[in-house]
Amino acid sequence: MSFIRKSGLPIIILLAAVVVMVVLIMNKPKPEIKEVEEKAFLVDVIPVEITDITYTVRSQGTVVPKVQSALTSQVSGIIESVSDVFVTGGMYEAGDILVTLEQADRKTELKLAQAELARAEAAYELELARGKVAEEEWRSVGRSASAAPELGLRKPQLDSEKANLKAAQANLERAQRNLERTVIRAPYNGMITQKNVDIGQFVNTGMVLAQLASTDVAEVRLPLTDSDLAYLNLASSEVGNVILYANVGGGLTQWPARLTRDEGVLNSQNRVIYAIAEVLDPYTRDADTTHKVLRFGAFVRAEITGLSAENMVVLPRNLVRLDGTVLLVDDDNRIEIRDVEVQRADDDDIYISAGLQVGEHIITSAVPNAFAQMPVRIAGEASTTENTSTNTSVE
């Protein structure tokens, strides 16, 4: 009997616990059902600002000399000496002697031409005297000189000697020029970009001795679209209207330039027009030059100051949608889809001439599936409202 009481007690306790648990579960209060409040989409906005602007056109190109030519020899001969600057990269000034050819043969030719001229002058003077003698003999027989035959007065012989004299003079001038041409001088301020000959080498007439490039002015060919040219005025371009940029020695350097012309032909391959920007004294040879050296062959970026425009709205390019509309927030915090008139667009900005008013707010956030009258929350206003609600609840 005592065994049964002992073994049945745990069962009774377990049953009682089950009963209590069932009662508690049945009497548990049901949770309050609350509707989930869906908040409007949160967006960032910027106010519309109207301003006057000056357009900037961006391009790039390679620096080349405006004037470059081949240095050639006008006479043949052996190179007797060259200047110290007659090396690739050597700088020279206009009139500097670059190459000197052997002059012995040219001096001999000059002496022969001088002797030939002296002989021709003597022959001319002799024939002139003979003509005077013939004229006097004709007069001595009582005849008028005007009626004398030209042959009798030796005029044909005189004309022949006069022609020989002129030929001798021309031959002397040529001999003098050929002697002068043995000294080859620089045609302009510049540098040698390629050297082809050296001392002791025989050169023929017309042989290219070196390639030269003028250092007075450098050019940059800037590819522009036809729409870019619409915002530029080449006729009024001044030095500084174009700023060239390049990295030199690890730092960004700039040079002032100006547009001088466009090439006038639309490139058939890339459909652009090339405008030419000029940089004065790129190698800073002038004492008054303040900018750094701009070397030929350097790749530069260009910012060109163009025409001005009034009452424009400038927006980041991504804020104007492909269909030419922008997203605004009205006074009721709802989306308005507005058509705008785009005057110009570049890589970064879009310039709007009509369709927006001062004080309106443009959405800068990406809004998926945006539609008209869609409710939104403005970021700054939303945070202020939430803070106010939190403070009220704490009180």
Q: Is 218 exposed, middle or buried (0-12, 13-18, 19+ CB in 10 A)?
A: buried
Six-digit token pair at 169? 């003079």
pLDDT digits (tens, 9 = 90+) for 291-341: 889 999 999 999 998 888 888 888 888 888 888 888 888 888 888 888 888
Those residues whose C-beta lies under 8 Å from the C-beta of residue 355, and which sit 6 or more positions away, are: 326, 338, 339, 340, 341
| Both structure tokens of 285 | 């040879």
211 near 68, Cβ under 8 Å? yes
- Best CA proximity match to 364, nearest among 382, 351, 346, 376: 376
Band the pLDDT of 43: cuts 50, 70, 90.
confident
Evaluate whether 263 touches 273 at the Cβ level (below 8 Å).
yes
Other C-beta atoms closer than 10 Å to the C-beta of 391 total: 9
Give the pLDDT score at 303. Answer: 92
Place of tokens 């013939």: 134
pLDDT for position 119: 93
Per-residue confidence (pLDDT) for residue 302, from 0 to 100: 94
CB 377 within 8 A of CB 43: yes
Which tokens in the block code for residue 389? 């609600």
Confidence of residue 30 (pLDDT cuts 50, 70, 90): low
If you average pLDDT over residues 336-348, what whole number do you get? 85
Residue positions counted in the chain? 395
Comparing CA positions, the residue from 210, 266, 277, 208 lying closest to residue 242 is 277
Question: Residues 269, 255: contact at Cβ < 8 Å?
Answer: no
pLDDT of res. 55: 85
pLDDT digits (tens, 9 = 90+) for 139-191: 666 555 555 565 555 677 878 888 999 999 999 999 999 999 999 999 999 99
Helix, strand or coil for residue 231? coil
Q: Distances in Å between the alpha carbon of 41 and those of 48, 266, 326, 369?
A: 21, 49, 17, 11
So what's the pLDDT on residue 5? 56
Taking the C-alpha atoms of residue 300 and residue 244, their distance in angstroms, rounded to an integer, is 6
For residue 309, the model assigns a pLDDT of 85
- pLDDT tens digits along 363-387: 888 888 888 888 888 877 655 544 4
Q: What is the pLDDT of residue 32?
A: 66
Amino acid at 8: G
Strands (E), 238-298: 242-248, 251-262, 273-280
Handedness of CA 117, 123, 124, 129 (dihedral sign): positive
The set of residues, in sequence order, having a beta carbon less than 8 Å from that of 52 and lying 6+ positions away, is 308, 309, 310, 311, 312
Task: Collect all residues with Cβ–Cβ distance below 8 Å to 18 and sequence separation of at least 6.
Answer: none
Average pLDDT, the chain: 84
pLDDT of residue 146: 54
Q: Which of 27-31, 34-38, 235-239 has the lowest mean pLDDT?
A: 34-38
What integer is the mean pLDDT of 111-121? 94
pTM value > 0.75:
no
Half-sphere exposure of 219 (CA within 13 A, CB side): 16
pLDDT of residue 330: 86
Return the closest-CA partner of residue 360 out of 324, 383, 341, 336.
336
User: What integer pLDDT is reported at residue 175 of this predicted model?
Assistant: 94
335: its two tokens: 């989306």
